[in-house]
Amino acid sequence: MTIRNDMTLAGVKAGAGLEAAVKMDRASVIGVVRDSGMKGRGGAGFPTGVKWNLAAAAQAEQKFVVCNADEGEPGTFKDRVILSEWPGLVFEGMTIAGYAVGASEGILYLRGEYTYLCQSLEKYLHERREANLLGQNILGKEGFDFDIHIHMGCGAYVCGEETALIESLEGQRGEARNRPPFPVNTGLNGMPTIVNNVETFAWAAAILANGSEWFKKIGTEKSTGPKMLSISGDVDQPGVYEFPMGTPIRDVLAAAGGEDAKAVVIGGASGHCIPASEFSRAISYEDVATGGSVIVFGQDRDMLNAAENFMEFFADESCGQCTPCRIGNVKLLEGIALLKRGKCSTKYLRDLCSLGETMQVASKCGLGQSSPNAFLSIVKHFSHEIMNRTSAVNAIGVSNE
């Protein structure tokens, strides 16, 4: 039982979005997506209609639509659930995007860890080809040719970053590129490429089916629509939930049975730690933005352990291209080891925090720019817990060894 509450996507009529789209001209399709106000569901929150419009405006002989199913952010699994339950909507969203921007090729970049999904997804693609939902002159629309293939990832978190993903598709090491130029102009093989999250494509199909007003009615003015959240950690019912954008963290926790948590980390390892005193804050782009990872920490959890786990993750996953991230993550991890042993001076802790701030501005890609977030927010909110330990005993009175 991974799906825990009512899912809007379950009620979206398969095929309706694509049918509506081919009746419109390309600009109107983009117009509907833009009017819905939807922002990317992968974390960065870039308005989807604007992205599509940029790719549509670019002049090129070939364009690509890439679905980012690399889902590597710790604590996220909603894309896996969407691909298991509603793969048709995801492919439909990609096809609509292909129509809107004038691309003929779509690629689903599926993380290697999800290889077991590949077979059934291939089957769906086959069925769509049979039904003329992929292929040539789709739904009888003259000149609308689009097909999708699956490309398997290979166990690298950084390949979720869109330019690293494109490098990986080109057969290279997954090392992020400088931006600009952006993929909408210079993407895969130098061609205009839109990269969107799995959930973004599913909602795009739903928006074309039900209209932008339908989508806009849900959520807040700046963060429209519903959002799927992956909830794990110290809750009674972990799993995938859907909430309107703008829902307070407290309500999210209540639904999952985690009201008495002492903190949540929202946005995964690259997200922020929110202490119980701030549970009235809302999940939305204007307040606590997230790709959907909600990790809940109960009263007896040691937050320094969480910080350590996150920094081990980043030290392992950094692509090593730029110094702030390659060295910085290791230095923060070493600093956490000192803190754990009760051997960190206040001055050194301050130095570590300023190193984290340097990484946020000086790293080349989003990995290094956001890897210090969790550490910095844990130090900020739980300094009493982090500093209140000696070499033998940790903050909650448990022996270190």
Partner 1 sequence: MEMTQQDKLTAKIDELVERHGCHRSALIPILQDFQKQYHTISDLAMQTVADKLGIHPVEVYGVVTFYAFLNENYHGRFVIRLCRTISCDMAGKDAVANQLCNDLGIEFGQTTPDGRFTLEWANCIGMCDQGPAMLVNEQAFTRVTPEKVHDILSACEKAFGPHAPQIEEEHVL
Residue ranges in contact with ligand FMN by CB under 6 A: 40-44, 46, 68, 70-73, 158, 160-162, 195-197, 200, 365-367
The pair phi, psi for residue 391, each rounded to 5°, is -60, -25
Q: Quote the least distance from Cβ 95 to ligand FMN, whole Å.
A: 16
CA dist., res. 269 & res. 197, Å (int): 18
CA dist., res. 293 & res. 284, Å (int): 13
Which of partner 1, ligand SF4, ligand FMN, none sits in contact with 156, Cβ below 5 to 8 A by type?
A: partner 1
CA dist., res. 48 & res. 301, Å (int): 38
Out of 318, 370, 373, 394, the only residue in the binding site for ligand SF4 (CB under 6 A) is 318
CA dist., res. 119 & res. 91, Å (int): 15
Near ligand SF4 in 350-389, by CB under 6 A: 363-365, 367-368
**What residues form DSSP beta bridges with 266?**
272, 294
CA dist., res. 241 & res. 291, Å (int): 13
Contact 248, 280 (CB under 8 A): yes
CB nearer to partner 1: pick between 18 and 81: 81
Q: Determine the residue with CB nearest ligand SF4.
A: 368
Q: Quote the least distance from Cβ 237 to ligand SF4, whole Å.
A: 34
**What residues form DSSP beta bridges with 109?**
68, 151
Q: Quote the least distance from Cβ 283 to ligand SF4, whole Å.
A: 26
Q: Quote the least distance from Cβ 46 to ligand FMN, whole Å.
A: 5
Contact 291, 197 (CB under 8 A): yes
Which of partner 1, ligand SF4, ligand FMN, none sits in contact with 41, Cβ below 5 to 8 A by type?
A: ligand FMN
Question: For the chain, what's the residue count?
Answer: 401
How many CA within 13 A on the CB side of residue 27?
A: 1
**What residues form DSSP beta bridges with 151?**
109
Out of 176, 263, 266, 274, the only residue in the binding site for ligand SF4 (CB under 6 A) is 176
CB nearer to ligand SF4: pick between 133 and 156: 156
> What are the residues binding partner 1 (CB under 8 A)?
1-3, 71-77, 79-81, 84-85, 111-116, 151-152, 154-157, 168-174, 189, 230-234, 238-240, 265, 269, 295, 297, 301, 305-306, 309-310, 312-313, 316-317, 319
Q: Quote the least distance from Cβ 7 to ligand FMN, whole Å.
A: 18
